[in-house]
A and B are shown apart, each in its own frame.
Chain A
Amino acid sequence: MSDIILNIALADDDEDDRMLFSEAIEELDIRTKLSLFNHGQELMDYLTLPNIVLPSLIFLDLNMPIKNGQQCLVEIRNNPKLKDLCIAIYSTSSSENDIEETFLNGANIYVNKPNNFSKLREVVEKVLQLNWQYHTSNLNKETFLFRI
């Protein structure tokens, strides 16, 4: 496998969800470094620090206290330094309105939180592979929209 390490961030206020996510990502063959954030504001504070290595992919929960996922998404897309980051929404909501709104706000991937661990691992792997393809191949980032 490739020797590049992928930097990934997850913002989710649910501690169990964060733990399960870290376990799932560690079991994959893809080499990753995961940073965890308890809510949207914590993530935004980190992303706007000077001189950090930006993650190549961010997983965003929608319902979080202090700053929710949609707000983060809008802020990221309006910040010239961050606007090209790949963003995957990671939510329990499967309402068509929520999904459409996140795409309109600039999300690249919409993931429904799976209800079992092996499915979670499968889904995370799929998102990482897609993100990898978009980083290494000549694919059109303007139309980078997927629902998993």
Chain B
Amino acid sequence: MTLFVKYDFDLVCKTLLKEQLDALDISYTLNSLGELIIKGVLSQEKQETLTTSLKKYGIEILSKQKVTLIDRIKNAVDDYLKNKEFRSIKLSTYLSDTLHYSYAHLSTIFSENTYTSIENYMILKKVDLAKDLICNTNLTLTEIAFRLDYSSVAHLSGQFKKTTGLTPSAFQRIMNKKKL
């Protein structure tokens, strides 16, 4: 017997974090961008216990502030792409408003540490979302283009082909065959 499950990645992580932090009696607030704000200061010992207990679940406490900032930029880009209402403003403005750094600073830190630029990351992520919609929904390319703010199907297809080397329909054909 095979069962198919669908899970909410965000909720899984939040629940896990809550359980682990509650077990250690740590009071905290969770920021949506992967940032935990701990009230007061954690003792060395508690911090180590927390690190070990989270590690079991593949959750890592990042030590370098720069690395954390990169992940926060990526998370903010992901949020920006998933919520149409955020996209009434430009990505650069959204990032500097959310992360409280100038866009120039964010952009430099990002390029120095990830082998790519914020713009290229956004394109890759956007195409990744398009791939997801092509595989897991019955939406037409016109609807997908609209959802992801492409001006037309041609624009979506062009960026898809430029990024992945495949046309959306070739990609869809391969993915359908893979499922068989």
Would you call B115 and A139 a contact (CB within 8 A)?
no
B121 / chain A contacts, CB cutoff of 8 Å: 133, 137
A102 → chain B closest CB, angstroms = 10
A133 / chain B contacts, CB cutoff of 8 Å: 114, 116, 121, 124
A145 / chain B contacts, CB cutoff of 8 Å: 131, 164, 166, 171, 174-175
A118 close to chain B: CB less than 8 A: no
A146 close to chain B: CB less than 8 A: yes
Would you call B115 and A140 a contact (CB within 8 A)?
no
Q: A145-B166, A145-B175 are in contact. List 20 more A-B contacts (CB 8 A).
A: A1-B112, A1-B113, A30-B115, A100-B174, A103-B174, A104-B174, A129-B116, A133-B114, A133-B116, A133-B121, A133-B124, A137-B74, A137-B125, A138-B78, A143-B131, A143-B132, A143-B175, A145-B174, A146-B165, A147-B166
A147 / chain B contacts, CB cutoff of 8 Å: 164-166
B105 close to chain A: CB less than 8 A: no
What is the size, in residues, of chain A's interface with B at 8 Å between Cβ atoms? Answer: 24
B116's nearest neighbour on chain A, judged by CB, is A129
- With A110-B165, A145-B166 known as contacts, the answer to whether A140 contacts B116 (CB < 8 A) is no
Which secondary structure characterizes the binding site on chain A? mixed
User: Which B57-79 residues have a C-beta within 8 angstroms of A?
Assistant: 74-75, 78
Contact of B124 among A110, A139, A142 (CB under 8 A): A139
Contact of A140 among B131, B171, B177 (CB under 8 A): B131
B114 / chain A contacts, CB cutoff of 8 Å: 2, 132-133, 136
B24 close to chain A: CB less than 8 A: no
Q: Can you spell out 8 A-B residue pairs with CB atoms less than 8 angstroms apart?
A: A103-B174, A129-B116, A132-B114, A133-B114, A145-B131, A145-B164, A145-B174, A147-B166
Bound complex: CA A138 to CA B128 (Å) = 10
Q: Give A114-148 as 1s and 0s: 1 = Cβ < 8 Å from B's Cβ atoms.
A: 00000000000000111011001111101101111
In this complex, the interface size class of chain B, counting residues with CB under 8 Å from chain A, is 20 to 34
User: Which A1-52 residues have a C-beta within 8 angstroms of B?
Assistant: 1-2, 29-30
B164 / chain A contacts, CB cutoff of 8 Å: 145-147
Bound complex: CA A132 to CA B120 (Å) = 13
B32 → chain A closest CB, angstroms = 14
Would you call B125 and A139 a contact (CB within 8 A)?
yes
Contact of A129 among B74, B115, B128, B166 (CB under 8 A): B115
A130 / chain B contacts, CB cutoff of 8 Å: 124
B148 → chain A closest CB, angstroms = 15
B124's nearest neighbour on chain A, judged by CB, is A133
Bound complex: CA A146 to CA B174 (Å) = 12
